[in-house]
Chain A
Amino acid sequence: MFNISYFAPAKLSEALEYLYEHKEAKVLAGGTDLIAKWKKIGHPDMELLDIRNIENFAEISEGKDGLFIGAGAKMAAVQYNSAVNEKFPILAWAASVVGSVQVRNLATIGGNICNAAPSADTVTPLIVYGAEAVIVSKKGERRCLVKDFFTGPGKTVLQSGELLKGFVLPYPEKGSKAAFSKHGRRIGMDLATVGVAVNACVDGGKIKDVKVALGAVGPTPIYVTGLEKFAGAMANEAAAEEIAALAEKQAKPITDVRGTEEYRKDMVYENVRKCLKKAFA
């Protein structure tokens, strides 16, 4: 029947050794994407590496240089974790709108990123919080900004033998405020038609720094570029509209069964504007 090999080590070194030996192995965390896809494509043979038993893989801990979130942390854990809620509230919010309660009790934040769907809810907050992905392999550890993690739909910078260990989120600068929006067709259980996260640091009514990330409007999540020029500008409605227009220009949505290109562009503008208004307030 199904031809699956399954390995669930408790030690990271064993997992990395396995990945080194088995170049085609699939990494199983929550399985909510992986297993659904495997069923859809007709149950092909598969080598599975289950990372759920690896020590500390689901940990969320406050370190010196930032908050560490393990790749195996479940969406529900991210949603309810007090440090995440306190310091990175829109990440908790984004985790809370992934799928359904049942999905959030299985799905992991690492899986959400590695699956590399352009619509992944937790990606845009991670990008605007300046999170780094911690990537490990037999050869050692390297880091990569989440905004640079994606190379195409379903494609990431992860090389053969590499495993995502987690994320480090630098603590937000004083005066910074983030906002998030998931634009879908309904409230419960939906994929985003447009996802928006913004993070703005405002000092004395002036923009110090502003970051905008977009989901579901291109082959990968989009980090809006060219916002440096707003440093020093007034954090007002006009700036919000200007940035929103810039974001709309950089969005590259397609028309599909969930929405048209035109509507998605409109919603990028509207949601970025709305989020910035909140972040500037």
Chain B
Amino acid sequence: MPNIPDVHYEKGNYSVVGTKQPYIDAYDKVTGRTTYISDFSLPGMLFGKALRSPYPHARILSIDTSAAEKVPGIKCVLTGKNVQQYKWGPVTKDEYLLAVDKANFTGDEVAAVAGVDEEACDEALSKIKVEYEPLPAILNMHDAMKEGAPLIHEEFPRNVNCHFDIPRGDFEAVAKNAYLVHEGEYETSLEYQSYIEPMAGVSTWDRKGNVTIYAGIQTPTWSRNDYAVALGIPVEKVRIVQMYFGGGFGAKLSQQVHPLGALIAKYAEQPVRFVMNREEDFQCGLPRVPMYFKIKTAWSKEGKYLGKYVYILADNGAYGSYGIPIGLTAMYRIDIMYQVPVVHSVMDLVYTNKVPTGCFRGFGNTQMHLAHETHIDEVAEMLGIAPDELRIRNFAGENYKNPHGWKTNSCEVTKCMVRAVEKSDYHAKAAEMAKENETSPDIKKGIGVAAAVHVSGNRSFIKPFEGAGILLRMNEQGKVYVLSNEPDMGQGIRTVLTMCVAEGLKLDPEHICVPDPDSNVVPFGLGCFASRGTYMATGAIHMALNDMKAKLIKLAAELLSLPEDELDLKDGAVVSVKDPSKKATYAELAWKHVCDFPGQNILGIGYFTPAGVEYPDATKYNNISGGYAFGADVAEVEVNVKTGQIKVSKIWGVHDVGQPMNLLALEGQLQGGIAMGYGWAVMEHLKYNEKGRVANAGFLDYQIPTSADIPEIDVEFVDSFEWTTGFGAKSIGENSLNPTAPAILNAISNAIGIRFYDLPVTAEKVLKALKEKAKASGAKA
């Protein structure tokens, strides 16, 4: 591996980077020209569908497929009994594509069919006879480890997928001498990503046993490994082509739908499209891991944060997915925002007979933020210190090294908080609202703050690898193709990379193309998760652009017989700085190059790995990210005490994202994250009934905010530059969401003097709490 020196990039004099650019693919998307994966067809393609368990936990005694096989138009009927199954999973290998002897949640795949259309498939599914023996089910994570609880996976006694205990110092010793020790319990709910297109893929096999999966996927290259295991074939036989898809928010890393579709296609011996319908996606997607937190903290009288103990119980549902790294993230990521010398985290990740839970924007860190940022507010009240001030007294700054060996580079969290408080006029408003509330019978107003941190890439997945590679190819007309493994799922990396090329090569975006990643073509890479895309890919493209720029200048110097140092790039050409009439356009240089070196394009090669980042050791020590991103929200609420209804009237979000790349997309991402955080706080909840079925598997009763509900949002980015990456950019994707829900909960508490410790805080819950409070104070009086 090349030695990455102690880099320190400087901010450039940008003309494109940092401006507002509409997505380069927006027009085609909104006019219906874009082909999304659910609409993608191959000649001779069949449709795949799965039969799903109606029970949350049941032994499969027998499956009779004979009637289903006779349905006209049905090509094959597969079960876990007639097709060899392999356990797979991105972290824990605990899931079959088709259940072999036991179904572990309502929706678990029991059989699958391929047919000429969906109706034939539905008919065949209705004719598969499965004999089940229902087993007792675990529907509440707090029951999972109890004595006598049913066992879901034999390899995991007491239903514990993993237990972590990471002590950094002796918390009890610190607590003993502290001025204040506060303990609180918090719980988050099951939340569905609500992307606009359900999980989907189209698979096709060649005669040599190579499979191509056209997929809606965030990790096209890396997921090949998982899918190969699921299919029992070598990884080199799996090709993934990432297609346009309707959002992922984390759910679309490795998914069951792709290898299962591929398995069906293998036996059908024809291409197969497998698209989940929305009800299936609700029941069998990979929603957010619900977590229970017990947090105990120790403080000095002046508000110095002395120590923290955290216990987490995390609900992984029926299968592991990414549960382990999600749980780990919840345990300690927030420790890079506050300077806490002693931190001790313990976590149990347990199985239940519910939908497998996985990645969702924030990756466990969002759950911890809800708990921790509520907890900090409680402490602020106890110490009589303003909540913004208490945070500021303990925030990390540049080059802070925490007890886990993590280290900040750029760090403007204090600036974010100060600016959010200033913009919202937080202190004056808090006083004003308190006064207003005294005389307002129905509406009580409140205001709250919260801070947040996230990574730009998380060095915890693959020991020997972190980073990104970019290959720039200038074709014979001088058009530049960006080959990258950082997929666009709507977050806009395609436009960001286009802007980088436009900036670096002074080229009109019309002459830049960022194709969809195809694992047969693009450089190796991990893909889109951990808010890594912008930080990593712009780091790599910075180097690739320098490489291509040097080549263009060298070629032009030869062609124009001018010294290289007299040449610079301008308007798609290499131009003499002394005499602008002397120039060579990229089109000229590119054509000459393919003629002089027959067929060879001009290439720019770039690779990036974050400096000062290392794979964690056995005790989870070592810095996992080069670009910690920060932010702070202030939320203003009005609570109707007669109905419990919460109106979030305004939210201010101020973030440190390093150097903004596409300011328009950044604002959009931050507004979207805030809207999502708002929904999580007050309405979103995937509910289970007593039979172990999702009770609201549709958008009628799984409610997300509509545009009529979303509060007024004011966003801003503080001046910052992350010196470890070429363009200085950090992330926004996940951190945009992290501070919102706790800021809202803190505002609600400010309004009515009642704290809520579990999500969502619905009108009904608020009214109940208000009644209980009135009853209690009545009883006292």
Contact = CB atoms under 8 A, between A and B. Distances in A.
Interface in A254-275: 257-260, 263, 266-267, 270, 274
Contacts of A1: 119
10 contacts: A43-B119, A185-B762, A185-B763, A187-B708, A188-B706, A189-B708, A257-B701, A259-B764, A263-B763, A267-B643
Contacts of A189: 706, 708
A257 B683 contact: no
B750 to A, nearest CB: 23
B183 to A, nearest CB: 31
Nearest to B645: A183
Given A263-B764, A270-B643, A188 B709 contact: yes
B767 A266 contact: yes
B206 to A, nearest CB: 33
A190 B702 CA distance: 11
A278 B231 CA distance: 66
Interface string B598-631: 0000000000000000000000000000000000
B582 to A, nearest CB: 59
B437 interface: no
Contact of A186 (B687, B705, B764): B705
A185 B703 contact: yes
Contacts of A267: 643
Interface string B675-688: 00000000100010
B423 interface: no
A168 to B, nearest CB: 33
B683 A185 contact: yes
A263 B767 contact: yes
A187 B696 contact: no
A98 interface: no
A222 interface: no
Contacts of B707: 188
Given A257-B687, A257-B695, A270-B643, A187 B701 contact: no
A78 to B, nearest CB: 20
B700 interface: yes
Contacts of B643: 183, 267, 270
A258 B701 contact: yes
Contacts of A188: 706-709
A77 interface: no
A191 interface: yes
Contacts of B119: 1, 43
Given A1-B119, A259-B764, A263-B764, A186 B695 contact: no
Contacts of B708: 186-189
A190 B699 CA distance: 10
A182 to B, nearest CB: 12
A277 to B, nearest CB: 11
A237 to B, nearest CB: 12
A186 B683 contact: yes
Interface in B700-724: 700-701, 703, 705-709
Given A186-B683, A191-B700, A274-B642, 8 more contacts: A187-B708, A187-B709, A189-B706, A257-B696, A257-B701, A263-B763, A263-B767, A270-B643
Interface centre among B695, B696, B763 (most CB of A within 10 A): B763
B675 to A, nearest CB: 12
Given A259-B764, A263-B764, A187 B642 contact: no
B441 to A, nearest CB: 12
Contacts of B695: 257
A190 B705 CA distance: 10
B246 to A, nearest CB: 18
Contacts of A190: 703
B682 to A, nearest CB: 9
Given A185-B763, A186-B683, A260-B764, A270 B706 contact: no
A167 B709 CA distance: 33
A186 B703 contact: yes
Q: Which 7 A-B pairs have the closest CB atoms?
A: A188-B706, A188-B708, A187-B708, A263-B764, A187-B709, A186-B709, A257-B701
A189 B704 CA distance: 10
A274 to B, nearest CB: 8
Nearest to B771: A266
Interface string A174-202: 00000000010111111100000000000
Contacts of A259: 764
Contacts of B767: 263, 266
Interface residues of A, number: 20
Contacts of A266: 767
Nearest to A266: B767
Contacts of B687: 257
Nearest to A36: B700
A270 B642 contact: yes
Contacts of A270: 642-643
A266 B642 CA distance: 9
Contacts of A185: 683, 703, 762-763
A42 B700 CA distance: 19
Nearest to B705: A186
A43 B117 CA distance: 15
Contacts of A43: 119
Interface string B752-770: 0000000000111001100
Nearest to A186: B709
A100 B696 CA distance: 20
A267 B642 CA distance: 9
Contacts of A183: 643
Interface string A135-164: 000000000000000000000000000000
Nearest to A194: B643
A186 B707 CA distance: 10
A184 B241 CA distance: 43
A1 B116 CA distance: 13
A148 to B, nearest CB: 29
Nearest to B643: A270
A272 to B, nearest CB: 12
Nearest to B707: A188
A185 B706 CA distance: 11
Nearest to B699: A189
Contacts of B706: 186-189
A266 B770 CA distance: 13
A257 B764 CA distance: 12
A190 B763 CA distance: 15
Nearest to A1: B119
A43 B768 CA distance: 42
Interface string B507-521: 000000000000000
Interface in A28-57: 42-43
B482 to A, nearest CB: 38
Contacts of B642: 270, 274
Contacts of B768: 263
Contacts of A187: 706, 708-709
Contacts of B763: 185, 263
A189 B707 CA distance: 10
A164 B708 CA distance: 33
A260 B767 CA distance: 12
Contacts of B762: 185
B650 to A, nearest CB: 16
A39 B584 CA distance: 63
Contacts of B122: 42
A187 B767 CA distance: 18
B122 to A, nearest CB: 8
Nearest to A189: B706
Contacts of B764: 259-260, 263
A267 B762 CA distance: 14
Nearest to A273: B642
Nearest to B647: A187
A191 B703 CA distance: 11
A138 to B, nearest CB: 37
Interface centre among A42, A191, A263 (most CB of B within 10 A): A263
B765 to A, nearest CB: 9
Nearest to B126: A42
B192 to A, nearest CB: 14
